[in-house]
């Protein structure tokens, strides 16, 4: 006989908790079920009545039908209650107990059944052979029966409500487990993983089936990080903490705050920064496991790194401003003094050819000083643009030989007495690069060669276009650069230890290095003190 869940709940309540006797019989008048109350009342075991005919135990009133019988196939049994009439049930010990008997029908896909309700008379415990008067009327019995049924229905509804609440709770917990953004790992006190949620699978690259009851959460921790944290906890707690599972669980066991940042190791070996909290799962007397909840903080770490970088950049810019103020007050003083003195002297000359020669000399000094100030300001403007990321490469096809030749001719005014600049271009006549950035590179390298070379010195400049790259070489016979200084040449504001009183901001080579880097090229320096220096710049042609 198959019984639905709803009917199963009802029968359980009805048969196991009702305080009246109940029998369920099939169409052949065989007993299918007998409730505990009736079995206890009559002294039978369940197996002693199941499958037996009803009339084996039930004695009907002498004036009624001798057996139950079918009624047009609608109700397997018909038994009419009559007022003030008793029927009897035979106990196991042979005695007879008077009962009021009423019937009801029940059917499902397995067949049709009759339910018999037997209400006994507590004042009559055995059969006397005499007609006994029931203690209550049939109407009262029916009312009591209906009250009992109402109570049973109420209990069924309460059970259904509890079952629905449990289903909602399970659904809620399942939703959390399957959709939580956090990594959730539950493991036993011995360290075996018991639960591993979908986010853990996705973030760490392991399948739950590969780790549950096989691996420990230590699988995801770096051994060196565990050792560092274990040493930290040992100092805090004044006891030795083992750099293993103990490190993960000791604070949870002691109910201490234990949210810490860790680097989980994924299956592919990469690291995932997380904020991990581990809590103990406790029963009344012991810890039955631990649950670890880890939140991915990689975005936060990235933001922190960007913030630190921004703060560092701001610090560098502030230092740059401070350096500029300090350098400007020093570097601007000489050319400005030269300009002022020259203007004053020019105003003193009255006329004549000799005075005109002197005026021309001071005018040239003024021009040179103004150019010097312009160069210093341009250097600072270039560094500012570099630091702010505002330098954009704009490539075009041009003739580097003509461009570099023009730049060198414009710089003749900076040359010392008898200095010579020799220039030659080899290879292809055109290049596909940014001519503006290349111009700044040439100007800074050549001006440095002029400053650090003696009068009468020769400066050799050579360019070559070959195999889709441009190579620029600037060589002088100046004071040279010490080996310990060469590693700092391209740093901002750096000046060689042998630069002495030679004027300069320490920004020229920094600008050359950054422009070369922006264009995808490289720069090297070969030099010895007293033997001059050679700078070589190699810049590849980008794809058009």
Let me know if 170 is exposed, middle or buried by CB neighbors in 10 A (0-12, 13-18, 19+). Answer: exposed
Asked if residues 516 and 522 have their Cβ atoms less than 8 Å apart, the reply is yes
How much is the pLDDT for 7? 46
pLDDT beyond 90 at 492: no
199 close to 182: Cβ distance less than 8 angstroms: yes
pLDDT at 79: 42
**Span 72-87, mean pLDDT?**
44
At residue 5, the pLDDT reads: 47
Percent of all residues in the chain with a pLDDT value above 70, rounded to a whole number: 78
Closest residue by Cα to residue 411 from 434, 439, 378, 373:
439
> Across residues 395-405, what is the average pLDDT?
93
Measured CA to CA, the distance from residue 290 to residue 77 in angstroms comes to 61
Q: Is pLDDT of 14 > 80?
A: no
Is the CB of residue 404 less than 8 Å from the CB of residue 461?
yes
pLDDT of residue 76: 37
Q: Does residue 130 surpass a pLDDT of 60?
A: no
- Could you tell me which residues come within 8 angstroms of residue 184 by beta carbon, excluding any fewer than 6 positions away? 177, 195, 196, 197, 199, 200, 291, 292, 293, 294
Q: Cα dihedral angle (78, 95, 39, 37), rounded to 10 degrees?
A: 80
Contacts (Cβ under 8 Å, ≥6 apart) of 76: 25, 26, 27, 68, 70, 105, 112, 113, 114
Mapping DSSP to helix (H, G, I), strand (E, B) and coil, where does residue 332 land?
coil
Stretch 204-228: mean pLDDT, rounded?
93
Q: What is the strand order of the sheet 260-265 is part of?
A: 193-196, 183-187, 287-296, 271-282, 260-265
Tokens (6 digits) for 38: 């009736």
Query: Residue 441: which residues within 8 A CB-CB, separation 6 or more?
Result: 472, 512, 515, 516, 537
Q: Average pLDDT of the chain?
A: 79
Has residue 419 got a pLDDT over 80?
yes
Write down the pLDDT at residue 486.
81
CB hemisphere CA count around 113 (13 angstroms): 19
With residues binned 3-state (H G I as helix, E B as strand, rest as coil), the percentages for the chain, rounded to 5, are 45, 25, 35
Instruction: State the DSSP H helix or E strand holding residue 333, giving kind and residue range, or none if neither.
Output: helix 333-348
3: pLDDT strictly greater than 50: no
What's the CA gap between 264 and 223, in Å, rounded? 11
In this prediction, residue 141 carries a pLDDT of: 60
Tell me what the mean pLDDT of segment 201-215 comes to: 93
pLDDT of residue 233: 92
Asked whether residue 384 carries a pLDDT value surpassing 80, the answer given is no
Distance CA 511, CA 518 (A): 10
Torsion of CA 46, 51, 52, 57, to 10 degrees: 40
Lowest mean pLDDT among 54-63, 110-119, 191-200, 473-482: 54-63
Range ranked top by mean pLDDT from 3-17, 113-127, 198-212: 198-212
Q: How far apart are CA 354 and CA 351, in angstroms?
A: 8
* CA 458/CA 446 separation, integer angstroms: 11
Q: Could you tell me which of 274, 97, 255 has the C-alpha nearest to residue 181?
A: 274
What does the pLDDT look like over 154-182, one tens digit per residue? 777 777 777 777 676 666 556 666 767 88
At 232, give phi and psi (nearest 5°): -65, -45
The pLDDT of residue 469 is: 93
* Residue 70 pLDDT: 38
pLDDT at 133: 45
- pLDDT for 477 beyond 80: yes
Interior/surface letters 253-283, b for 16+ CB within 10 angstroms, e for the rest? eeeeebebebebbeeeeeebbbebbbebeee
pLDDT of residue 75: 40
Least confident residue range of 86-100, 316-330, 514-528: 316-330
Confidence of residue 544 (pLDDT cuts 50, 70, 90): low
Among the listed ranges 128-132, 343-347, 406-410, 513-517, which one has the minimum average pLDDT value?
128-132
Residue 155 CA, distance from chain mean position? 48
What confidence tier does 329 reach under pLDDT thresholds 50, 70, 90? low
Q: How far apart are CA 475 and CA 533, in angstroms?
A: 6
Q: Which of 110, 84, 101, 137 is nearest to 22 (CA)?
A: 101
> In terms of Cα–Cα distance, which of 208, 180, 204 is closest to 273?
204
Predicted confidence (pLDDT) at residue 74 exceeds the cutoff of 50: no
Q: How many Cβ atoms are within 10 Å of 239's Cβ, its own excluded?
A: 9
Q: What is the pLDDT of residues 368-377, one digit of tens each?
A: 677 767 777 7
**Tokens found for residue 135:** 């203690």
* Mean pLDDT for the stretch of residues 26-30: 87
Q: Model confidence over 81-109: pLDDT tens digits?
A: 343 455 778 888 888 888 777 777 767 77
**Do 144 and 137 contact (CB within 8 A), yes or no?**
no
Tokens at residue 39, please?
């079995």
Query: How confident is the model over 276-296, as a mean pLDDT?
Result: 89
């Amino acid at each position: 006989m198959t019984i639905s869940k709803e009917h199963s709940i009802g029968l359980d309540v009805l048969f196991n908790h009702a305080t009246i006797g109940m029998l369920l019989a099939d169409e052949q008048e065989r007993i299918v079920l007998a409730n505990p109350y009736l079995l206890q009342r009559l002294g039978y075991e369940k197996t002693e009545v199941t499958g037996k005919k009803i009339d084996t135990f039930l004695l009907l009133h002498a004036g009624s039908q001798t057996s139950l019988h079918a009624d047009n196939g609608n109700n397997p049994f018909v038994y009419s209650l009559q007022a003030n009439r008793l029927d009897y049930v035979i106990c196991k010990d042979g005695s007879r107990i008077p009962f009021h008997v009423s019937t009801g029908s029940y059917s499902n896909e397995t067949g049709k059944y009759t339910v018999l309700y037997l209400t006994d008379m507590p004042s009559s415990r055995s059969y006397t052979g005499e007609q006994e008067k029931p203690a209550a009327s049939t109407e009262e019995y029916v009312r009591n029966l209906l009250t009992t049924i109402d109570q049973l229905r109420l209990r069924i509804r309460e059970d259904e409500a509890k079952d629905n609440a449990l289903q909602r709770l399970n659904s809620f917990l399942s939703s959390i487990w399957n959709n939580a953004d956090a990594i959730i790992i539950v493991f036993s006190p011995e360290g075996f993983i018991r639960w591993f949620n979908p986010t853990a699978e996705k973030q760490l690259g392991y399948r739950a089936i590969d780790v549950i009851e096989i691996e420990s959460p230590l699988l995801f921790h770096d051994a060196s990080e565990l050792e560092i944290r274990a040493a930290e906890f040992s100092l805090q707690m004044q006891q030795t903490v083992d750099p293993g599972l103990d490190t993960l669980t000791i604070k949870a066991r002691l109910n201490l705050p234990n949210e810490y940042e860790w680097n989980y190791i994924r299956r592919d070996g990469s690291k995932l920064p997380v904020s991990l909290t581990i809590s103990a799962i406790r029963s009344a007397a012991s810890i039955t496991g631990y649950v670890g909840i880890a939140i991915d903080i990689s975005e936060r770490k990235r933001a922190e790194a960007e913030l630190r970088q921004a703060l560092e950049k701001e610090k560098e810019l502030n230092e740059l401003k401070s350096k500029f103020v300090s350098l400007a007050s020093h570097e601007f003083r000489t050319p400005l003094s030269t300009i002022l003195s020259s203007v004053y002297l020019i105003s003193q000359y009255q006329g004549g050819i000799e005075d005109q020669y002197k005026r021309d000399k001071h005018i040239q000094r003024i021009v040179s000083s103004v150019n010097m100030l312009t160069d210093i300001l341009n250097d600072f403007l270039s560094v500012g643009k570099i630091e702010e990321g505002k330098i954009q490469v704009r490539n075009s096809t041009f003739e580097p030989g003509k461009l570099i030749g023009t730049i060198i001719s414009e710089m003749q005014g900076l040359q010392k007495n008898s200095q010579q600049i020799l220039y030659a271009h080899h290879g292809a006549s055109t290049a596909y690069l940014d001519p503006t950035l290349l111009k700044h590179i040439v100007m800074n390298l050549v001006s440095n060669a002029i400053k650090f070379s003696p009068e009468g010195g020769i400066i050799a400049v050579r360019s070559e276009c070959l195999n889709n790259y441009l190579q620029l070489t600037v060589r002088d016979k100046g004071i040279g650069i010490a080996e310990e200084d060469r590693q700092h040449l391209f740093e901002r504001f750096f000046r060689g230890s042998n630069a002495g009183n030679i004027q300069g901001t320490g920004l020229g080579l920094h600008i050359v290095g950054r422009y070369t880097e922006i264009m995808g090229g490289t720069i090297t320096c070969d030099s010895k003190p007293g033997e001059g220096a050679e700078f070589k710049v190699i810049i590849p042609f980008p794809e058009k």
